[in-house]
Structure 1
Amino acid sequence: MAPRIGVVTFPGSLDDRDAQRAIRIAGAEPVALWHADHDLQSVDAIVLPGGFSYGDYLRPGAIAAVSPIMTEVIAAAHRGMPVLGICNGFQVLVEAHLLPGGLIRNAHQQFIRRDQRLVVENVDTAWTHLYSPGEEIVIPLKNGDGGYVANDETLKRLEGEGLIAFRYAEVNPNGSLNDIAGLSNERGNVVGLMPHPEHAVEAGFGPDTPEAMSSGTDGLRFFQSAIEALTARVS
Structure 2
Amino acid sequence: MNCAVLQFPGSNCDQDAVKAVAGTLSLKADLVWHETADLNAYDLIIVPGGFSYGDYLRAGAIARFSKAMQATVAAAERGAYVLGICNGFQILTEAGLLPGALRRNDHRQFRCDMVELEVVNGATDFTRAYEKARVTIPIAHGEGNYYVDDEMLKRLEENQQIVFRYASEQSPNGSVANIAGVINERGNVLGMMPHPERAVSERLGSTDGISLFRSILTSWRDGHAS
- TM-score between both structures, scaled by the size of structure 1: 0.92
Q: Does residue 1:142 correspond to 2:140, yes or no?
A: yes
- What SS does structure 1 have at the residue aligned with 2:202? coil
Equivalent position of 2:218 in the other structure: 228
Matches within 5 A, 1:3-18: 3-18=1-16
User: 1:9-30 deviations in whole A, cap 9, x for unaligned?
Assistant: 0110000000000000122221
Distance, in Å, in 2 between the alignment partners of 1:159 and 1:230 is 25
Unaligned runs of 5+ residues in structure 1 are 208-215
Equivalent residue, structure 2, for 1:151: 149
Q: Which portions of structure 1, spanning 4 or more consecutive aligned residues, are displaced by more than 3 angstroms?
A: none
**How big is the shift at 1:203?**
2.2
Contact 1:197–1:218 at 8 Å: present in 2 too?
yes
Q: How does 1:157-172 map to 2 (within 5 A)?
A: 157-170=155-168, 171-172=170-171
Q: Distance in 2 between matches of 1:31 and 1:4?
A: 8
Q: Does 1:183 find its partner at 2:182?
A: yes
Root-mean-square deviation over aligned CA pairs: 1.2
Please give the alpha-carbon distance, in whole angstroms, between the structure 1 residues aligned to 2:89 and 2:148: 14
- Report the alpha carbon displacement of residue 146 of structure 1 after superposing the two structures with TM: 0.3
**Which range moved further: 122-131 or 162-171?**
122-131
- 1:138-189: per-residue Cα shift (whole Å, max 9, x none)? 0000000000111111111011111101000123000001000000111111
Please say which of residues 151-160 and 118-127 is displaced more in the overlay: 118-127
SS of the residue corresponding to residue 222 of structure 2 reads helix
**Aligned partner letter, 1:232:** D
Alpha-carbon distance between aligned partners in 2 of 1:202 and 1:231, rounded to the nearest angstrom: 24
Query: Contact (CA 8 Å) 1:118, 1:167: kept in 2 or not?
Result: yes
After the TM superposition, which of the residue ranges 118-127 and 161-170 deviates more from structure 2? 118-127
Q: For the residues of structure 2 that align with 1:70 and 1:56, how far apart are their CA atoms? A: 16
2: CA distance, partners of 1:137 / 1:90: 19
Match of 1:213 in 2: none
Runs (5+) with no aligned partner, structure 2: none
Q: Matched residues in 2 for 1:34 and 1:128: separation?
A: 28
Identity of matched residues, %: 48
Question: Which of 21, 24, 29 is the equivalent residue of 1:23?
Answer: 21
Distance in 1 of aligned mates of 2:123 and 2:62? 30
On the 8 A contact 2:64/2:95 being kept in 1, the answer is yes
CA contact (8 A) 2:39 2:75 kept: no
Q: Provide Cα deviations, 1:51-71, integer angstroms capped at 9, x if missing partner.
A: 000010011011101101111
Q: Deviation of residue 123 (structure 1)?
A: 2.3
Query: What's the secondary structure of 2:182's corresponding residue?
Result: strand
Paired residues of 1:124 and 1:188 also in contact (CA < 8 A): no
Contact between 2:40 and 2:75, CA under 8 Å: does it hold in 1? Answer: no
